[in-house]
Chain A
Amino acid sequence: MTRPYSADASEVFVIIGAGQTGATAAAEMRQQGFSGRIILIGEEPHLPYERPPLSKDVLLQPANTRCQIYPDTFYSDNAIELRLGHRVTDLNLTLRQVVLANGEVTPFDKLLLATGSRVRRYPLLDRLERDVYTLRTLDDAEALKPVLQPGKRILIVGGGVIGLELASSAVDLGAQVQVIEQAPRLMGRGAPLVVADYLQESHRQRGVHFHLGAGLISAERGDGEIVLTLDNGMCLSGDAVIYGIGVELNTELASAAGLAVDKGVLINEHCRTSHPSIYAAGDVASQWNPALEQYVRLETWENAKNQAIAAAQSMVSGVARSFEVPWFWSDQCGMNIQLAGSSVAQEWLVRGQLSDSRFTLIGMTDGRVVGAVTVNNGRDMRSVKTLIASQASPDRALLLDSTKDLRRLVC
């Protein structure tokens, strides 16, 4: 069999980080016909798994939820060497080798940084030491299971996607939930206000209490409970605090190795860093987008998958796939919400009714489709993504007519 791009079986590709990005990239390298060694190194002890179910099905239906990305045998079947439970402590560009915490040295020809991100710590809350939780890993999710129980009073700090998904799961599990958010609205980073308001109302109807525009002044342990004092003077007590206030990027190895880092590890269109043999993808990477003329960093499942595929293609054959419209989903309150393109638009058109269980919002700026949100209406997503990608300016009346299939506007 001919392998035009990489015939040298002695070539070694090392991937640091065995999350969504690392695992997808390893699989794609083989898909592309790479015949050299692939070594996938990850700090976590588990086979690569998806994070999205951690805040949802892993808590709600632990018995029938598998979040592993590929089956057990996938790695040996594809000759992907796993080094799990090992942290890389040094990346040496001159010697082209990585050093693991146990002292083991692994040389490489090309390397992919897929180190992702970690929970941003909140020292004020961490000082409580007990009954304070965050969620990033499978082990974190396991630790939450005994906490999210009927009748438990849960204080969630942070009204972003993870905080809200946890609020939803906690309510499903019978807990009483209060959400504290510093900003005056929810999901400030990724969703238009109409959607944030819609979600807030959905959670409220399920019994969640919100404290928006409220900063934390202190966190103390009282009589068998935790008491949070807000800057509006309120004191909230609960049995446990869970916080989700964003992430911090695992860029330390890249910075120490002298790679260009500006918040994320900077990569070009082909996922290459400032060093020709080092690539990066996923949460940790900030990619040059020629159309937008700026670096863009995304913290989504789809970006992890797509950038991993692009990076693998680039490492194997020097060419990578083109960009796609950013897209992510959130499952909460029994609803599936999908957001594509920009979360900022001059106007949001509603296809259907906000009072219905399913509808689509289409974001318009200067007459063009720039973003979209589907609520329980994933079938519209493919069509609106196409409209966003082509910067289409379709007829408003047609967009608003939910009896007409959006697909007709596309072809």
Chain B
Amino acid sequence: MKRIFVCKTGELASGEARKVEVNPAVAVFNVDGVFYAVADRCSHGNASMSEGYVEDDATVECPLHAARFCLKTGAAQCLPATEPLRTFPVAVAGDELYVEISEEVAA
């Protein structure tokens, strides 16, 4: 497991997202003070979920063709996507936000 620094918790406001440039990239979200991390690339195509529209119910809408994903489970909730997004654990240490990526993914 690799722990990657995202930003200070105060730098990611609620409803906002941040792309973490690991390979493949991860998108980290703040929904009402709860942080989530999912694969940044949409399972439908070449879109960055960090540029998506974050809903209060902890879902994100793809900026390209509006597929919606659950940030908790990564599940695709509507077409055109049917495949889930991979989810990643997040960790807060003091005022620092981290995402945890298994070696196998980060390879």
B82 in contact (CB, < 8 A):
yes
Stretch at the interface among B24-32, B57-65, B87-95: B57-65
Given contacts A379-B51, A379-B53, contact A70 B63 (CB under 8 A): no
Asked if B82 contacts A378 (CB within 8 A), the reply is no
Asked if B52 contacts A379 (CB within 8 A), the reply is yes
A71 in contact (CB, < 8 A):
yes
B33 in contact (CB, < 8 A):
no
Tally A residues with Cβ within 8 Å of B.
23
A336 in contact (CB, < 8 A):
yes
Report the tally of A-B residue pairs with Cβ distances under 8 A: 43
Asked if B64 contacts A336 (CB within 8 A), the reply is yes
Closest to A57 in B: B45
Give every chain B residue within 8 A of A69 (Cβ-Cβ): 79-80, 82
Closest to B16 in A: A405
Given contacts A57-B45, A379-B53, A382-B53, contact A331 B80 (CB under 8 A): no
Asked if B80 contacts A50 (CB within 8 A), the reply is yes
Closest to B55 in A: A382
B79: contacting residue among A24, A57, A377, CB under 8 A:
A24
A381 in contact (CB, < 8 A):
yes
Closest to B53 in A: A382
In the bound complex, what is the Cα–Cα distance between A24 and B80 (angstroms)? Answer: 10
Given contacts A329-B65, A378-B64, contact A305 B79 (CB under 8 A): yes
Distance to closest chain B CB from A338 (angstroms): 8
Which residues of B (9-53) have their CB < 8 Å from a CB of A? 15, 45, 47, 51-53
Given contacts A379-B51, A381-B53, contact A329 B80 (CB under 8 A): no
Give every chain B residue within 8 A of A381 (Cβ-Cβ): 53, 63, 66
Give every chain B residue within 8 A of A336 (Cβ-Cβ): 47, 63-64
In the bound complex, what is the Cα–Cα distance between A71 and B43 (angstroms)? Answer: 13
Give every chain A residue within 8 A of B79 (Cβ-Cβ): 24, 69, 305
B64: contacting residue among A24, A71, A329, A407, CB under 8 A:
A329
Give every chain B residue within 8 A of A383 (Cβ-Cβ): 53
Asked if B61 contacts A301 (CB within 8 A), the reply is no
Interface string of B67-107 (1 = CB under 8 A from A): 00000000000011010000000000000000000000000
Which residues of A (134-159) have their CB < 8 Å from a CB of B? none
Given contacts A57-B45, A407-B15, contact A379 B63 (CB under 8 A): yes
Asked if B65 contacts A382 (CB within 8 A), the reply is no
Give every chain B residue within 8 A of A379 (Cβ-Cβ): 51-53, 63
Which residues of A (304-333) have their CB < 8 Å from a CB of B? 305, 327, 329, 331
Which of A53, A69, A378 lies at the interface centre, i.e. has the most chain B CB atoms within 10 A of its CB?
A378
Chain B: residues with CB nearer than 8 A to chain A?
15, 45, 47, 51-53, 61-66, 79-80, 82
Question: What are 8 A-B residue pairs whose CB atoms fall within 8 Å in the complex?
Answer: A24-B79, A57-B45, A301-B65, A327-B66, A329-B64, A331-B64, A382-B53, A382-B61
Chain A: residues with CB nearer than 8 A to chain B?
24, 50, 52-53, 57, 69-71, 74, 301-302, 305, 327, 329, 331, 336, 377-379, 381-383, 407
Known: A50-B80, A70-B82, A382-B53. 9 other contacts (CB 8 A): A53-B45, A69-B80, A71-B82, A301-B80, A331-B64, A336-B64, A378-B63, A378-B64, A379-B52
Closest 3 CB pairs of A and B: A378-B63, A382-B53, A336-B64
